[in-house]
Amino acid sequence: MKNSGVVVVAGAGGFIGGHLVQRLLARGTQRVRAVDVKPAKEWWQRHPDAENLLLDLRERRACEKACRDASEVYQLAADMGGMGFIESNKAACMLSVLINTHMLQAATGAGVKRFFYSSSACVYNADKQRDPNVTALKEVDAYPAMPEDGYGWEKLFSERMCRHFREDFGLKTRVARFHNVYGPRGSWTGGREKAPAAICRKVIEAKISRKLEIEIWGDGTQTRSFQYIDDCIKGIGLIMRSGWVEPINLGSSELVSVDDLVTAAEEIGGVKLKRRYMLSAPKGVAGRNSDNTLIRKVFGWEPSTPLRTGLEHTYRWIFDEYVRTHGRR
């Protein structure tokens, strides 16, 4: 990861971005520029060895400032959250196209050598995700296009932008389709958290309050694969340094149901809860899993941290955060 130019992480105040900055610095990258729109106190990780900038990357000039003297850009910045946020804020999610467009233009203008874009499994055709017993999604399953409304369409469009900037301007773009990344040091309350963090928090709340019940969005049969943050960061590095130019899945292939996820969190917390299913709540597609045939072929590697292992690390961190902010009731 060592590089003579500035390495930019856009969205560095977020969950994945914070971990990526930490990893870059740990591996000896000398000049890391961490950029986010959030106030400094709201960053999940803030590293004093990085150049930390508060910029609104929806604005072209802000992107030009972010990319100045840069040799590599990791474009993770987006307005997004869990399914509840995505389904209720489609316009806001679509407006992330301003960030991606301006960052691609600024990177090209600055002579950036490599540009990583974090896409999403939400680009996949919804017709292939109507059964909890889903066939794992291959990269070709993004077309014919029928992605998640709002967020998924923006991600798919920005993938195409990366392709055309590579073809027309020679910018070496790399695209990974993230599948449900989770782990410590990320959103666990407030509406933007993903399912693993939300379930951990609910189990912790139930245990501490002694109200031994949990609210579950949907009927519990929805299936997903959940990728631990350490695997995600390793995959980003492999993809960025490689010669592979097409979008590629970056996710675990361990398929579990929401009920399975709740059971795992209960076992970690040492508690058994009554389950209340909220059938009218946002729940997304019925099933989604990552087909890792391509990433194994290209890199001889795939995300492999078992859900139970990663979830235990996540639960312990959220428990400590919950106690720190709420106390033990």
Q: Which active-site residues does the annotation give? A: 151
DSSP letters spanning 275-312: EEEETTS----SB--B--HHHHHHHS------HHHHHH
Backbone angles phi, psi at 277, to 5 degrees: -95, 125
CA distances from 138 to 125, 235, 288 (A): 11, 17, 11
Q: State the CB neighbour count (10 A cutoff) for residue 327.
A: 8
Query: What CA dihedral angle connects 155, 293, 303 and 143, to 10 degrees?
Result: 10
DSSP letters spanning 241-281: HSS--S-EEES---EEEHHHHHHHHHHHHT---EEEEETTS
CB 132, CB 222: distance < 8 Å: yes
Closest CA to 137 of 292, 269, 305, 255: 292
Q: DSSP strand E in 83-204: where?
A: 114-120, 172-178, 181-182
CB 82, CB 198: distance < 8 Å: yes
Taking the alpha carbons at both ends of the chain, their separation in whole angstroms is 46
Residues 122, 117: Cα–Cα separation, whole Å = 14
Which tokens hold the place of 132?
């909890």
Q: Are strands 213-217 and 51-54 parallel, antiparallel or unpaired?
A: unpaired
